[in-house]
Amino acid sequence: MYELIQLTDRCYYIQSPARMGLVRLDDERVCLIDSGNDKDAGRKVRQLLDSRGWRLDAIYNTHSNADHIGGNQYLQKQTGCRVYAPGIECCFTRHPLLEPSFLYGGYPCRDLRHKFLLAQPSDALPLTAEVLPEGMTAIGLPGHFFDMVGFRTADGVVYLADCLSSRETLDKYKIGFIYDVAAYLATLEKVKTMEGAMFVPAHAPAAESVAELAQYNIDAVLAVAETILDLCAEPVCFEQLLGQLFRRYGLTMNFEQYALVGSTVRSYLSWLKDAGRLDATFDDGMLLWRRA
């Protein structure tokens, strides 16, 4: 774990729970794409850089989930590096309490206020084209989270953040976290047609082609949608629906899964309702969902 894998003369990734990208800017300076899930991850990254005599110039965050920004604060304090994050993600990076609050739909209880969902704040600045290294471009990849981006380097390496889950993860958990289902499906269709020297998803193996994996992710999303529609054959409230999904997929309910899967299921419900495939009614003080 935290092994540095070289892809091209200048591009690497760091093998970790959420793969980080590393790009050499010159003989001494490097930049990171994301920073890992906590202070310990940041410390391991710094040790890796120090062992090679590299100086961290900047961190470019793909999005603001805690497992991607958790090392920001430590690395920023230790090295003075700049931190950049795109759009709304910059607000979440500066104010990480927004993540568990958003997921839960209110002030999160102590069970949700931990490093898995709540990173330490960092002094992030807005990500713009002007602050990127020469030859690097940001790629909009919305859907998994609000304004998530990936990055393409001058030598054709594409860092894809969280827009792809591995087959093993999807087969095991079935429901991957999604904020905007329509945007996510559009992103996957875009990824299917991308060309590059190498693709580095954060939660799937690096590969020269990800078209088949992108389609596998699309099929998984559509399968979950069909399951939700089946479970809404008769009017059902959200809590009942969520419980049925957990039982159907053999998932274990706890506060983290309630927040993550629950938020995702609400996103599916919104998408299906907007598409005219679900109806929502209010009956006896309850919001009920039923297949249209």
Question: 134 with 245, same domain?
Answer: no
Question: 172 with 251, same domain?
Answer: no
Question: The tokens 């999005």 sit on which residue?
Answer: 63
**Which CATH number covers residue 195?**
3.60.15.10
Q: What is the pLDDT of residue 109?
A: 98
Choosing from 170, 204, 222, the residue where a domain stops is 222
Question: 111 with 252, same domain?
Answer: no
Helix and strand tally (H, E) in the chain? 10, 14
Choosing from 202, 222, 242, the residue where a domain stops is 222
Choosing from 222, 241, 260, the residue where a domain stops is 222
Question: 51 with 151, same domain?
Answer: yes
Q: What is the pLDDT of residue 1?
A: 86
Q: Which residues pair with 138 in a beta bridge?
A: 151
Q: What is the pLDDT along the chain (292 residues), one digit of tens a residue?
A: 899 999 999 999 999 999 999 999 999 999 999 999 999 999 999 999 999 999 999 999 999 999 999 999 999 999 999 999 999 999 999 999 999 999 999 999 999 999 999 999 999 999 999 999 999 999 999 999 999 999 999 999 999 999 999 999 999 999 999 999 999 999 999 999 999 999 999 999 999 999 999 999 999 999 999 999 999 999 999 999 999 999 999 999 999 999 999 999 999 999 999 999 999 999 999 999 999 9
Question: 19 with 121, same domain?
Answer: yes
Q: What would the DSSP string read from start to end of 126-150?
A: E--GGGSPTT-EEEE-TTSSTT-EE
**pTM of structure:** 0.97
Query: Whole-angstrom Cα distance, residue 172 to residue 250?
Result: 9
How far from each other are the two terminal CA atoms of the chain, in whole angstroms? 48
Query: Whole-angstrom Cα distance, residue 198 to residue 64?
Result: 24
The total number of structural domains in the chain stands at: 2
Structural contact between residues 188 and 218, judged by C-beta atoms closer than 8 angstroms: yes
Question: 13 with 155, same domain?
Answer: yes
**What are the strands, taking DSSP E only, across the chain?**
4-6, 11-14, 20-24, 29-33, 55-60, 82-85, 124-126, 137-140, 149-152, 157-165, 198-203, 236-237, 278-283, 286-291
Q: Residue 133 carries which side chain, given as an amino acid letter?
A: P
Question: 30 with 81, same domain?
Answer: yes
Which residues contact residue 161 at a Cβ distance below 8 angstroms, ignoring those fewer than 6 apart? Answer: 34, 62, 63, 68, 141, 144, 148, 149, 150, 201, 202
Question: 259 with 209, same domain?
Answer: no
CA angle 15, 43, 256 (to 5 degrees): 70
Query: Whole-angstrom Cα distance, residue 271 to residue 181?
Result: 6
Query: Whole-angstrom Cα distance, residue 121 to residue 172?
Result: 32
Q: What is the pLDDT of residue 288?
A: 98
Question: 183 with 235, same domain?
Answer: no
Question: 124 with 28, same domain?
Answer: yes
Which one, of 41, 32, 57, lies nearest residue 200 by Cα? 32
Question: 54 with 192, same domain?
Answer: yes
Q: Domain limits at 156?
A: 4-222
Q: What is the pLDDT of residue 70?
A: 98
Which one, of 144, 97, 123, 114, lies nearest residue 256 by Cα? 114
**Which CATH number covers residue 241?**
1.10.10
Phi-psi region of 161 (alpha: psi -120 to 50; beta: other; left: phi over 0): left
117 three-state secondary structure: coil
Question: 138 with 49, same domain?
Answer: yes
